[in-house]
DNA sequence: GATGAATGAGCTTTCATTCAT
DNA sequence: AATGAATGAAAGCTCATTCAT
């Protein structure tokens, strides 16, 4: 087993911290907790990330990059926008079902603890990889005449708010069914809301 | 100036704490912070709320009650469901614009700090006043044939996720326009997603 | 029902506080606890006792007076010293069994919280009523030739330490039998230790 | 100067805390007090003992172990039971005279603050090392025919109550003489109380 | 005498971060 | 790189006591 590089070590720390932050919350997860979960010493953690806040910011960038890649794969497919919506909902829910940490981190850590991400993640720079792909999806859909040409944020808020809301309800164990059960309904609703006028 | 009753004092504490919790976050707001904002001593705070957690739970119930009443007023109006959607979006965004604390608290404190609300807010009991009115809105819309008869959570997630998402973006100062600017677009999108098949 | 005099009110406060102090400990019993148990307000308590410490000192004097009277009754009886020992053990254990508060207070509050009784109870002034009667018991026993003439404290420590130790064990629920079950054994042991040489 | 092991550091904390608890009482001794006496930070204390209560419990076990060892040495001697009584009284009083903290802790902290030791010291498990040796002393004395065969607690209460009572009086500065001055008297009294019938 | 809201010092405990080894 | 003991500021909370009514 080769000795891991510094970059690989950083990634494994991020994944361990991601799990804890998303499950237990940012403030209720301590650095010793993370160190213990990774079988390493507290002091050594600081050789990789200079502070708890910096660790949190690196994690959201990591997630944004990961999810952005997933969306890009869909964007690059030669399928109708309606299908792409279905694919995006599917990938989002499948991720939330199998590895809920990423989506939960996005919702419960990144979106909810402004004070932590204020410095260094101004605007959307820490999630730009992800947002950019969503923008591309919209623009291409409009260009192809398969989506109504509307304000970006009105559409973005619908898409992301809706999916985020469902994952929240799932996390609260409020939903009677699995997330996957809702994929068709929700894809339909989103398409109805975004499609051009007079289309069925 | 008449001496306030104990109940009035509790309410003013909740409003002061609500402001701080929503702006600064639950964990970054301290009891001394709240006490100072209210010009009262730390000890006296505890004569009204036995713990920080209990205070947080009372606040979400208070908000749920307040917003529930607003929705009920709309539910009781003799107007088309399409108009009701517009009214609900309007009241939600106007509230978020004028008194952003309530909505922000809902999103950033209540939804994001599970561990705080776990005991005492099981299921949705702390927000039942609000959720109940939303349920009534859907049921009546379906009954009148003005909404598609679909899974409650698929519809609820759309409505609340969407509105929440927009307020988030607004809070992040990401939106280029005021919240009110989006009311028509968003109401339209929601109605498109929820209306019966073949309707325009 | 006649309005109680100030002195009667003080006594009832002392009895209520005695119960709580002996059961819960001096530091773990709060003034609000006592007030609530007596159905009176915190502020009013301070009209009767100027501080928690003063209340504690008044209580030990009260107990000492009460127990002293019980011993005096025995001292005044026309019976052999051996019988008196039996009577004292009996009254002590019966009191501890029926109203354990007094003895427990003596052991767990008075004897164990020096810092509280330091000022105002120097030497044995707060328990002099009780100690005096025990001294009389010894002196008369020696005078009648029914007890060995030995150092007062050697005898006093035996008597009080022994009885106190048994009540401690009883309070810990360590004793397999009721306190009364031990009366004969213990009276015998004490008499053996204190009786003149060569006596059987 | 070699760096102390973690175990040695724990012991030195226990000894420092023992001194303060026994002199000032459990509730009137604060963690900052202990830390200051040991020249260490408050936070670091908690690296060794997770709470004040746990520290208190470890101390009583430590004392029980120490005193148990002293009694065992006497139990193992080839001398008459009467001599053993004298030795036990001697070791107890010498300990109380030279290092009064241990005995005082036993009496004033352990025995008097039930609520602290309730969880984790049920029955006599935190003092079993000591009590066990006392039991052995009695049993062997009876077996050799040098002690009356009586109820264990009647004998135990005499021994421990008597010695404890004397140390109490000593701690109160009530005794006119040093503890050692009383050794012979008290050993004699105890032997008289425990010896077989008809023996002189 | 009676009330209980108000005070504020002080308690136990936590935890991000540092640093000697 | 790695360790984990050490730091100390700051948190939540308690409670004896006061005082306006």
| Nearest CA among D27, D182, D34 for reference residue D94 | D182
Q: Residue B139 carries which DSSP code?
A: H
* Minimal Cβ distance to D189: which of C158, C160, C186: C158
- Write out which nucleotides of chain F lie closer than 7 A to a protein Cβ: 1-20
> Is the four-CA dihedral D40, D44, D47, D53 of positive or negative sign?
positive
Inter-chain CB proximity A153 and B169 less than 8 Å? yes
Say whether pLDDT at D1 is over 80: no
Is nucleic acid strand F under 7 Å from A43's C-beta? yes
Report which residue is nearest nucleotide F1 when distances run from CA to C1': A44
Closest-approach residue (CA) in chain D for C152: D175
Say whether pLDDT at A197 is over 90: no
The first and second tokens of residue A128, run together, are: 């730009």
Give CA–CA dist C112/D117, Å, rounded: 15
The chains found to touch D (3+ Cβ pairs under 8 angstroms) are C
pLDDT tens-digit profile of C86-111?
Answer: 999 999 999 999 888 999 999 999 99
Q: How many CB atoms lie within 10 A of CB A50?
A: 10
Confidence label for B28 from pLDDT (cuts 50, 70 and 90):
very high
> Is the four-CA dihedral A124, A130, A133, A139 of positive or negative sign?
negative
Give CA–CA dist A109/B108, Å, rounded: 9
* Minimal Cβ distance to A157: which of B107, B154, B162: B162
The first and second tokens of residue A2, run together, are: 């080769």
Inter-chain CB proximity C162 and D161 less than 8 Å? yes
Confidence label for C127 from pLDDT (cuts 50, 70 and 90):
very high
Confidence label for C4 from pLDDT (cuts 50, 70 and 90):
confident
Confidence label for A173 from pLDDT (cuts 50, 70 and 90):
confident
Inter-chain CB proximity C28 and D192 less than 8 Å? no
Distance D31 CA to E14 C1' (A): 14
Q: Which nucleotide does the CA of D6 lie closest to, via C1'?
A: F5
Inter-chain CB proximity D158 and C189 less than 8 Å? yes
- Residue C6: its pLDDT value, please? 86
Say whether pLDDT at A2 is over 80: no
Q: What percent of chain D has pLDDT over 90?
A: 86
**D52 Cβ neighbours under 8 A, 6+ residues apart:** D31
Confidence label for B78 from pLDDT (cuts 50, 70 and 90):
very high
Give CA–CA dist B29/B31, Å, rounded: 7
Say whether pLDDT at C3 is over 80: no
Backbone φ and ψ of D160, nearest 5°: -75, -40
Q: Is D136 exposed, middle or buried (0-12, 13-18, 19+ CB in 10 A)?
A: middle
Q: What percent of chain B has pLDDT over 70?
A: 98
- Residue C171: its pLDDT value, please? 85
Q: Residue B122 carries which DSSP code?
A: -
Which protein residues, judged by their CB atom, are less than 7 Å from any atom of strand E? A 27-32, 42-43, 46, 50-53; B 6, 9, 40-44, 46-48; C 6, 9, 40-44, 46-48; D 27, 29-32, 42-43, 46, 50-53
- Residue B200: its pLDDT value, please? 54
3-class SS letters over chain D: CCCCCHHHHHHHHHHHHHHHHHHHCCCCCCHHHHHHHCCCCHHHHHHHCCCHHHHHHHHHHHHHHHHHHHHHHHHCCCCCHHHHHHHHHHHHHHHHHHCHHHHHHHHHHHCCCHHHHCCCCCCCHHHHHHHHHHHHHHHHHHHCCCCCCCCHHHHHHHHHHHHHHHHHHHHCCCCCCCHHHHHHHHHHHHHHHHCCCCCC
Give CA–CA dist A48/A53, Å, rounded: 13
Q: What percent of chain D has pLDDT over 70?
A: 98
Closest-approach residue (CA) in chain C for D198: C200
pLDDT tens-digit profile of C154-189?
Answer: 999 999 999 999 998 898 888 999 999 999 999 999
Q: What percent of chain C has pLDDT over 70?
A: 98
Say whether pLDDT at B1 is over 60: no
pLDDT (mean) for A107-116:
92
3-class SS letters over B65-87: HHHHHHHHHHHCCCCCHHHHHHH
The first and second tokens of residue A19, run together, are: 């799990």
* Minimal Cβ distance to C193: which of D153, D172, D192: D192
pLDDT (mean) for D168-192:
93
Say whether pLDDT at D97 is over 80: yes
Is nucleic acid strand F under 7 Å from D112's C-beta? no
- Residue C199: its pLDDT value, please? 58
Confidence label for B197 from pLDDT (cuts 50, 70 and 90):
confident
Inter-chain CB proximity A108 and B114 less than 8 Å? yes
Q: State yes or no: chains D and C have 3 or more CB pairs below 8 A.
A: yes
State how far residue A81 is from chain B, nearest Cα, in angstroms.
Answer: 16
- Residue D199: its pLDDT value, please? 58
Q: What is the mean pLDDT of chain B?
A: 94
- Residue B153: its pLDDT value, please? 94
Helices A128-143 and A81-98: crossing angle in degrees, nearest 10, is 160
Distance B53 CA to E5 C1' (A): 22
> Is the four-CA dihedral D133, D136, D142, D148 of positive or negative sign?
positive
Distance D117 CA to F5 C1' (A): 29
- Write out which nucleotides of chain E lie closer than 7 A to a protein Cβ: 1-20
**End-to-end CA gap in chain A:** 57
Mutate to test the interface with B, among A23, A107, A111, A160 (most CBs of B within 10 A): A111
- Residue D3: its pLDDT value, please? 74
Say whether pLDDT at A54 is over 70: yes
How far, rounded to the nearest angstrom, does the alpha carbon of residue B163 sit from its chain's CA centroid?
A: 10
pLDDT (mean) for D186-191:
96
Give CA–CA dist A39/A139, Å, rounded: 46
* Minimal Cβ distance to C165: which of D115, D160, D176: D160
Is nucleic acid strand F under 7 Å from B42's C-beta? yes
Distance C96 CA to E12 C1' (A): 35
The chains found to touch C (3+ Cβ pairs under 8 angstroms) are D
Inter-chain CB proximity D151 and C185 less than 8 Å? yes
Is nucleic acid strand F under 7 Å from A3's C-beta? no
- Residue B121: its pLDDT value, please? 94
Give CA–CA dist D105/D84, Å, rounded: 24
- Residue C200: its pLDDT value, please? 55
Distance B195 CA to E21 C1' (A): 70
Say whether pLDDT at A200 is over 80: no
pLDDT (mean) for D116-134:
93
Helices C152-171 and C128-143: crossing angle in degrees, nearest 10, is 120
Give CA–CA dist B192/B195, Å, rounded: 6
Say whether pLDDT at A70 is over 70: yes
Determine contact, residues B166/B93, Cβ cutoff 8 Å: yes
Q: Is D78 exposed, middle or buried (0-12, 13-18, 19+ CB in 10 A)?
A: exposed
Is nucleic acid strand F under 7 Å from A154's C-beta? no
pLDDT tens-digit profile of B91-148?
Answer: 999 999 988 899 999 999 999 998 999 999 988 899 999 999 999 999 999 999 999 9
- Residue B199: its pLDDT value, please? 58
E strand or H helix at C185, and its extent? Answer: helix C183-194
Give CA–CA dist C163/C186, Å, rounded: 9
Distance C49 CA to F18 C1' (A): 14
- Residue C125: its pLDDT value, please? 93
pTM (two decimals): 0.92
Distance A181 CA to F5 C1' (A): 52
**A110 Cβ neighbours under 8 A, 6+ residues apart:** A60, A63, A117, A126, A127
State how far residue B185 is from chain A, nearest Cα, in angstroms.
Answer: 7
* Minimal Cβ distance to C111: which of D160, D162, D168: D168
Q: Which nucleotide does the CA of D3 lie closest to, via C1'?
A: E21
Q: Which nucleotide does the CA of A46 lie closest to, via C1'?
A: E17
């Amino acid at each position: 087993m080769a000795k891991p590089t510094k970059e690989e070590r950083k990634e494994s720390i991020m994944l361990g911290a991601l799990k804890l932050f998303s499950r237990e919350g940012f403030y209720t997860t301590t650095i010793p907790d993370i160190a213990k979960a990774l079988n390493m010493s507290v002091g050594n953690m600081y050789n990789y990330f200079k502070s708890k806040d910096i660790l949190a910011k690196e994690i959201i960038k990591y997630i944004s990059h990961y999810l952005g890649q997933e969306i890009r794969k869909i964007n690059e497919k030669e399928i109708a926008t309606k299908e792409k919506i279905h694919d995006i909902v599917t990938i989002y829910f499948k991720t939330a079902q199998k590895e809920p940490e990423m989506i939960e981190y996005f919702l419960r850590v990144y979106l909810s603890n402004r004070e932590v991400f204020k410095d260094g993640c101004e605007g959307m720079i820490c999630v730009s990889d992800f947002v950019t792909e969503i923008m591309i999806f919209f623009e291409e859909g409009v260009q192809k005449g398969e989506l109504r040409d509307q304000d970006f944020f009105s559409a973005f808020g619908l898409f992301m708010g809706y999916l985020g809301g469902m994952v929240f309800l799932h996390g609260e164990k409020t939903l009677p069914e699995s997330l996957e059960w809702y994929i068709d309904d929700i894809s339909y609703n989103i398409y109805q809301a975004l499609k051009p006028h007079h289309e069925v």
